[in-house]
Amino acid sequence: MTAAATAAPPLPITTERRSRRARARAQAHDHAGEVVRAHVRACGCASPPASVECAAEASARTDAEELVALFRELAQGGIDVHRPLVSRVIRDHAGALLADPQLAEQVRRVLRHLVSCRTEGLGGHLVRCESCGQKELVYHACRDRHCPTCPAVRALRWVEVRKQRALDVEHHHAVFTLPGALRPLFFKNQDRLYGEFMKAVADAVRWGCRRVIGDGTPAFTTVLHTWNRHLQYHLHAHVVLAVGGLSVDGSTWVTRGQGECFLSADEALCARYRDALLARVRKLRAAGQLALPRGTSDADLDEVLARQAKRRWHVYSKKTLRSDRAYEYLGRYARRVGLSSARIVAYDGERVTFVTKGGKTTTITGAELVSRLALHVLPRGFVRLRHYGLFTVRHKARLALARQRIAEQGLGCGYAAVLEGDDEQSADLAEDAAWQDVVRERLGFDPDVCRACKERALVRTPLAPSPLLVRRDLERVMRRRRAPP
């Protein structure tokens, strides 16, 4: 590792693993950015510094100054800048939280990503219509999974993939909720207990399925959810479960009689879920791997665990859900955080009003909104969305066999996607679909059509990102932070 690489501070750009296709797009984008910078230099928008200490640092500073000049020139030209409202709220009020020295490093890293999202430092595209001359400046997204604005297209693409792999039977929707008395312990030990919570939920679902299909193989998907409509901490898991399962020998699709509940949220299922999770918590505590919440002693925790072991835990189970809508419903939770710009109805620079459950609204300060969003930052590397049974990779052959048995027994509902050829090939094509195709098919409008003249004449000119601009922008956010109340 070179000295320059060692001295460079970490860049607030997401480090999630990218596919080969994404890396190819990034390389093409970098090449296009070099072309734009060369054009800016040729136009004389900015000049390189007279004296420099390091060639690499001078190059980065020159690029940043050129981009600043270019963005200023574009803004003075009256070009519309696309920036979601929720991003403005985060940028205006994240400084006070970032200045907290006790803030967890993972939360600090995510907030830096959210602050930099759709700003000049990450680059963007100048969208110009060759027909009417309309111009719009669209900044690039941070691609962080906690960002309220970034995962929209990824969520739509994920829904299409899951619909291609779904079974043509009715589905159950279940919700497993953690009791409120245990939430402080789980919030304090997220890296340890979130995974145990998901395993306990999966264990309870498998046990509930065995009461109907015996040793057959079920098919279900779980997703961790940490917020309610007010963005407060509320840990629970959503489960979408295919009604039935493939027998051990693969000869039949086993299900329950028509009209009967496949996964009944009765006393036995709630007790199974409760006992499975409490056993895992006690095991970790006996090994000394759990930290106590502030103000809680060992005796207090013993009392809470003993009291919760005697109560009935809440499990919700909806009877049926169409297979074509099951993953559309789950997609609203799988790749998103609990707030979008569409839910914000008013923002005056200090206070935010957003829609809650039942169409009601609530108003809080912008600093409080950012603090609530920070509650839902997951541990780094945690897998929030998990597939079990026939939906796992190792059961691809049995999934195809289950689809065949459902058709032979006449149990299909006619709601699942019609597959052309191999289902895995169709799912892979859906996963690799371009974002323009996803938006055009799922949202019903063409992103290549001008909104002013309705002509298909848009041209996108890439604007390269600048790490130096990102750092300068973060410093600006920190300087204008508001004092906590």
Distance, in Å, from the CA atom of 244 to the CA atom of 320, rounded to the nearest integer, reads 12
472 versus 433: which is more confidently predicted? 472
Residue type, 267: E
What residue type is 291 in one-letter code? A
DSSP 323: H
Q: How far is the C-alpha of 181 from the C-alpha of 307, rounded, in Å?
A: 10
Beta strand pairing call for 233-242 and 171-177: antiparallel
Confidence of residue 430 (pLDDT cuts 50, 70, 90): low
Packing angle of the helix pair 152-165, 323-334 (nearest 10 deg): 150
What pLDDT is recorded for position 432?
58
Single pTM value for the model: 0.78
Q: In which residue are the tokens 């759990």 written?
A: 290
* Contact in structure between 408 and 221 (CB atoms under 8 Å): no
467 is written with which tokens? 């790490």
What's the pLDDT score for residue 481?
A: 56
Q: How far is CA 255 from CA 162, 209, 277, 290, 396, in A?
A: 22, 10, 28, 41, 20
Instruction: DSSP for 377-431, please give it.
Output: PPPTT---EEEEETTSGGGHHHHHHHHHHHHHTT---S-SPPP-S-HHHHHHHHH
Strand, coil or helix: 484: coil
DSSP E strands, 59-188: 80-82, 124-129, 135-139, 171-177
Backbone angles phi and psi of 78, in degrees to 5: 75, 25
Q: Is 276 helix (H, G, I), strand (E, B) or coil?
A: helix
**415-440 average pLDDT score:** 58
Distance, CA of 325 to CA of 322 (rounded, Å): 5
Find the mean pLDDT for residues 256-280.
84
Work out the pLDDT band at 34, boundaries 50, 70, 90.
very low
- pLDDT at position 470: 75
Mean pLDDT of 454-467: 83
Count the residues in the chain: 485
- DSSP label at 363? E
Mean pLDDT value of segment 126-145? 85
